[in-house]
């Protein structure tokens, strides 16, 4: 699907923010749509300071991002250190069957007397480790595909874009279920591989659009004319300018991965002997926890996923708001203020005061 940088196909290009799983990323769309032409703040100038520093600024300046970081940081600590404090084997059976939360079993027990609290803590490590690792692999693939398609152009772009668009419209979760069912060995690795295969396309498209808008910039032209190699231009000139988008993409991918993995394992397509959040659901569902009134069995892992997901989403909100100041919660100017503005600009023609956005802008934020 050939898409010229400046005349994007409307229906196809203004990818709205609905990243599977994580519905945040408004800034992403500013970039993905209109080939980044109209995105006000994310259209980057060549990096003047280290990109990592600007990421750090986002986290310290924005309150939403701070809260998100605290939540995610807490889960990290539990994942790293939690299992050292758990002395009961999470799979050990006992005679305390279906005990509600109590001092001896903080989160109650399962139908076979396993302690849910220790399952949860041990499972946190597995779920987070695999979630982040998969997210990292997915992000790497989308960076490779997106940047190559955007920068190299021509037939490479044609082929890669078609691939991206096809994978974008195919329903990824049913495809993942199909793949996972066919793979003979069940386990976290299979789940991760299947999710990677089915979820790289969205980010690749966002990055391709952004790369298209960057490749004709002066600093890229300068690098090209000074004889830098193609790979160096792609990964050392262009890539650093897309760090914020890649980071936002990684965060939303991580949410999707954790949700999808839980979904696959809930259907029994993971290794049900491994203790993590998804398999806890599987056992709870398979033992009719609900009909036994054992709410604590499925409440705990779900709350963890929801909290972690919300934390990651908050981080993305923060990145969005820093990258695109227009999204911050500010009141619109009142009628009176509008009238003042109008009378002020009466001599110079009607102007809204925020500058006139290019034509494509109305569609580009989504």
Partner 1 sequence: MRHLLRRLGFYLVALWASITLNFVIPRLIPGDPAGALMARFQGRMTPQAIHALELQFGISHDPLWMQYIQYLGDLLHGNLGTSFTYFPTPVATVLAQELPWTLALVGTSVLISFALGSLIGVFIAWRRGSFLDNILPPFLTFFSAIPYFWLALIALYLLAYTLRWFPVNGGYDTSLTVALTPDFLLSALNHALLPGFTIVLASVAGWMLGMRNAMITTLTEDYVLLAEAKGLKERRVMFSYAARNAILPNVTGFALSLGFVVAGSLLTEVVFSYPGVGFALLQAAQNSDYPLLQGIFLLIALAVLGANFLADLAYLVLDPRVR
Q: How far is the CB of 225 from partner 1 (least distance, A)?
A: 36
Q: How far is the CB of 234 from partner 1 (least distance, A)?
A: 26
| Site track for partner 1 across 194-233, x = CB under 8 A | --------x-------------------------------
Window 57-76: residues binding partner 1 (CB under 8 A): 64
112: contact with partner 1 by CB under 8 A = no
**Residue from 85, 87, 104, 184 binding partner 1 (CB under 8 A):** 184
Closest listed residue to residue 321, CA positions, set 31, 33, 65, 51: 65
336: contact with partner 1 by CB under 8 A = no
Element containing residue 312 per DSSP (H, E): helix 295-323
Residue pair 190/131 in contact (Cβ under 8 Å)? The answer is: no
Token couple for 267: 């259907």
Q: In the chain, what are the helix, strand and coil shares in percent, each to the nearest 5?
A: 65, 0, 35
Between 25 and 215, CB nearer to partner 1: 25
Cβ partners under 8 Å of residue 18, min gap 6: none
Instruction: Pick the piece of the chain touching partner 1 (CB under 8 A) from 42-50, 125-133, 240-248, 286-294.
Output: 286-294
166: contact with partner 1 by CB under 8 A = yes
29: contact with partner 1 by CB under 8 A = yes
Sign for the pseudo-dihedral over CA of 287, 289, 294, 298: positive
Between 158 and 228, CB nearer to partner 1: 158
1: contact with partner 1 by CB under 8 A = yes
162: contact with partner 1 by CB under 8 A = yes
**Residue from 82, 101, 153, 302 binding partner 1 (CB under 8 A):** 302
What are the helix (H) ranges across 62-217? 63-81, 116-152, 154-169, 172-182, 188-199, 201-214
Tell me the HSE value of 3 on the side-chain side, using a 13 A CA sphere. 29
Distance CA 192, CA 67 (A): 28
323: contact with partner 1 by CB under 8 A = no
Which 3 state secondary structure label does DSSP give 268? coil
Instruction: Pick the piece of the chain touching partner 1 (CB under 8 A) from 48-56, 109-117, 239-247, 298-306.
Output: 298-306
Window 248-267: residues binding partner 1 (CB under 8 A): 255, 259, 262-263, 266-267
């Amino acid at each position: 699907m050939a898409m010229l940088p400046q005349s994007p196909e409307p229906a196809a290009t203004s990818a709205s923010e609905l990243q599977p799983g994580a519905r945040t990323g408004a800034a992403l769309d500013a970039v993905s749509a209109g080939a980044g032409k109209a995105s006000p703040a994310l259209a980057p100038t060549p990096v003047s300071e280290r990109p990592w520093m600007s990421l750090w600024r986002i986290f310290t300046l924005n309150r939403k991002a701070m809260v998100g970081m605290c939540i995610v940081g807490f889960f990290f600590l539990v994942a790293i250190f939690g299992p050292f404090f758990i002395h009961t084997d999470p799979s050990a059976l006992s005679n305390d069957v279906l005990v509600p939360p109590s001092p001896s079993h903080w989160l109650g027990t399962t139908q076979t007397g396993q302690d849910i609290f220790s399952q949860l803590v041990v499972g946190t490590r597995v779920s987070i480790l695999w979630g982040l690792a998969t997210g990292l692999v997915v992000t790497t693939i989308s960076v490779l595909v997106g940047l190559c398609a955007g920068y190299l152009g021509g037939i490479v772009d044609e082929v890669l874009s078609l691939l991206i668009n096809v994978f974008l419209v195919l329903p990824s979760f049913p495809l993942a279920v199909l793949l996972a069912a066919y793979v003979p060995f069940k386990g976290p690795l299979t789940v991760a591989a299947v999710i990677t295969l089915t979820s790289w396309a969205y980010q690749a498209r966002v990055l391709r659009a952004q790369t298209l808008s960057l490749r004709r910039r002066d600093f890229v032209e300068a690098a090209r004319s000074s004889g830098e190699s193609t790979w160096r231009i792609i990964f050392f000139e262009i890539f650093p300018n897309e760090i914020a988008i890649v980071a936002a993409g990684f965060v939303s991918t991580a949410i999707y991965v954790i949700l999808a993995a839980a979904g696959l394992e809930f259907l029994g397509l993971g290794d049900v002997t491994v203790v993590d959040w998804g398999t806890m659901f599987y056992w709870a569902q398979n033992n009719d926890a609900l009909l036994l009134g054992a709410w604590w069995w499925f409440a705990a892992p779900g709350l963890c996923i929801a909290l972690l997901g919300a934390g990651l989403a908050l981080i993305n909100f923060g990145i969005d708001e820093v990258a695109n100041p227009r999204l911050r919660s500010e009141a619109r100017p009142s009628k009176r203020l509008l009238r003042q503005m109008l009378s002020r600009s009466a001599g110079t023609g009607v102007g809204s005061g925020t500058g006139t956005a290019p034509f494509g802008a109305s569609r580009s934020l989504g």
